[in-house]
């Protein structure tokens, strides 16, 4: 099994509009798919790759143009400046969970195998999914499932968890699914659990807040004419990226000057998100939910 197969690979790399002598950043190195393609297009340029998952380091190429940083992309600006880089020509982010993380049972990202409810992208972090289920108040759990999983029965889910954990901690996948089985809609069980696990993963890794931090720092670090390329896999991420690229803020409200001209710091390269073709989905079914957005700093 491949560590990860990137969705929309050609479209993403073309979207960076790479200059052979430029400086580029892959903030989600993973299996190194995007980074490898970027390196093919560089001559004397430089690539900085980030990944908070220490497992990703095994995919690092032996290339003097590549610098790998085992860091969360929320520290983008500080880490770049630490190694002497004050601006870059392009930044790419693939926000999907890697195949390796889904397929490695011990990581606890999937509901399809009974294992510990971990879900940490960075395994040196303290908080696991099982800790959230044990420690959070019922109202906070309901908010997580509604906000990050868009589950309309979030309050019933939270109530069932709280009642169950009073007798026994929910530590494994089967512990959780056993408690919530009656709340999963008939014939939509997989969709229900996928959303449930997505919500827990987002909360464990603080993904939405860290994405916002990365996007803001990307704007600051990009040179004029530099490209921001982002692949998202669910509506919460996509909405944030879409709004930020359109307006330079997370409200989605595009500000204008006295003359009615947009004051957005970006020029949209993609007015609508690029999605995989049926041919790509047939080869890589996990690309199905991918959406690609590209913007250029003005």
In a shared domain, residues 52 and 124: no
Question: Domain ends where: 178, 205, 232?
Answer: 205
**With contact defined as beta carbons under 8 Å apart, do 195 and 180 qualify?**
no
Please say if the pLDDT value at position 164 is more than 80. Answer: yes
Report, as an integer, the average pLDDT of 163-192.
96
User: Which of 109-113, 118-122, 254-258: highest mean pLDDT?
Assistant: 118-122
Measured CA distances, 272 to 10, 190, 268, 269 (Å): 17, 29, 9, 9
The answer to whether residue 105 is domain-embedded is: no
- Sign, CA torsion 24/266/51/283: negative
Q: Are residues 114 and 201 in the same domain?
A: yes
Number of separate domains in the chain: 2
Same domain, 143 and 289: no
Inform me whether the pLDDT recorded for 57 exceeds 60.
yes
To the nearest whole percent, how much of the chain has pLDDT over 90?
A: 88
Residue 54 counted as domain residue: yes
CATH number (domain holding residue 174) = 1.10.150.170
Which residue did the predictor score with more confidence, 251 or 42?
A: 42
Same structural domain for residues 221 and 77?
Answer: yes
pLDDT of residue 71: 97
Residue of 2, 1, 24, 4 whose CA lies nearest to 13: 24
Same domain? 18 vs 87: yes
User: Does 40 share its domain with 60?
Assistant: yes
pLDDT at residue number 2: 67
Record the tokens describing residue 188, joined without a space: 């939509």
Say what the pLDDT of residue 223 is: 98
Given 155, 189, 205, which residue is the final one in a domain?
Answer: 205
At CA 48, angle to CA 291 and CA 96, rounded to 5?
A: 25
Task: Name residues whose C-beta falls within 8 Å of residue 98's C-beta, 6 or more positions apart in sequence.
Answer: 3, 4, 30, 31, 53, 56
CA separation for the pair 98, 271 (Å, rounded): 27
What confidence score (pLDDT) does residue 3 get? 76
Residue 220: give its domain's CATH number. Answer: 3.40.50.150
pLDDT digits (tens, 9 = 90+) for 202-233: 999 999 999 999 999 999 999 999 999 999 99
**Secondary structure element (H or E) that encloses residue 225, with its range:** strand 222-232
- Nearest CA to 144 out of 153, 154, 134, 152 is that of 154
Check residue 1 and give its pLDDT. 53
Task: Match 């001559």 to its residue by tokens.
Answer: 43
Q: Is residue 226 assigned to a domain?
A: yes
- Would you state the pLDDT for residue 254? 78
pLDDT, tens digit (0-9, with 9 covering 90-100), for 184-193: 999 999 999 9
Average pLDDT over residues 26-46: 97
pLDDT score, position 255: 76
- pLDDT on residue 182: 95
Q: How many CB atoms lie within 10 A of CB 275?
A: 16
pTM: 0.94
In this predicted structure, what is the pLDDT of residue 289? 96
Specify which of 92-106, 168-182, 253-267 reaches the highest per-range mean pLDDT: 168-182
Residue 261: is its pLDDT beyond 90?
no
- In the 8-state DSSP scheme, what is residue 92? E
Dump pLDDT digits (tens) for 114-148: 999 999 999 999 999 999 999 999 999 999 999 99
- Judge whether 200 lies within some domain: yes
Burial level of 127, CB count in 10 A (0-12/13-18/19+)?
Answer: middle
| CA separation for the pair 28, 72 (Å, rounded) | 9
Q: Is residue 104 part of a domain?
A: no
Same domain, 164 and 227: no
pLDDT reading at 175 higher than 60: yes
Provide the domain limits for residue 115. Answer: 110-205
Does 201 share its domain with 280? no
- Taking the mean position of all CA atoms in its chain, how far away is CA 88? 21
In this structure, are 229 and 261 located in the same domain?
yes
Q: Identify the pLDDT of residue 12.
A: 98
How many Å is the maximal CA-CA distance in the chain?
Answer: 65
pLDDT, residue 33, reads 95
């Amino acid at each position: 099994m491949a560590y990860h197969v990137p969705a929309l690979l050609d479209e993403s790399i073309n979207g960076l509009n790479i200059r052979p002598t430029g400086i580029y950043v892959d903030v989600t190195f993973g299996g190194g798919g995007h980074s490898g393609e970027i390196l093919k297009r560089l001559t004397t340029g430089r690539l900085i790759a980030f990944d908070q998952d220490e497992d990703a380091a095994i995919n690092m190429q032996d290339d003097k143009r590549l610098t790998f940083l085992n860091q969360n992309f929320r520290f983008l600006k500080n880490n770049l400046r630490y190694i002497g880089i004050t601006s870059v020509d392009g930044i790419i982010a693939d926000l999907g969970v890697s195949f390796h993380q889904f397929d490695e049972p011990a990581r606890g990202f999937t509901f399809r195998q009974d294992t510990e409810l971990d879900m940490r992208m960075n395994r040196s972090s303290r908080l696991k999914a099982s800790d959230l289920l044990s420690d959070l108040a019922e109202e906070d759990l309901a908010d997580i499932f509604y906000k990050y999983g868009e589950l309309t029965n979030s309050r019933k889910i939270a109530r069932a968890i709280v009642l169950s954990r009073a007798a026994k901690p929910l530590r494994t996948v089967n512990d959780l699914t056993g408690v919530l089985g009656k709340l999963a809609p008939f014939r939509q069980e997989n969709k229900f659990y996928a959303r449930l696990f997505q919500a827990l993963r987002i909360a464990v890794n603080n993904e939405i807040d860290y994405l916002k931090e990365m996007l803001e720092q990307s704007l600051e670090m990009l040179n004029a004419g530099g490209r921001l390329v982002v692949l998202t896999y669910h509506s919460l991420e996509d909405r944030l990226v879409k709004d930020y690229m359109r307006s330079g803020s997370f409200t989605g409200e595009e500000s204008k000057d006295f003359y009615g001209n947009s004051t957005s710091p970006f020029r949209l390269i993609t007015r609508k998100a690029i999605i995989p073709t049926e041919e790509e989905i047939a080869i890589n079914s996990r690309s199905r939910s991918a959406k690609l957005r590209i913007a250029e700093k003005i």
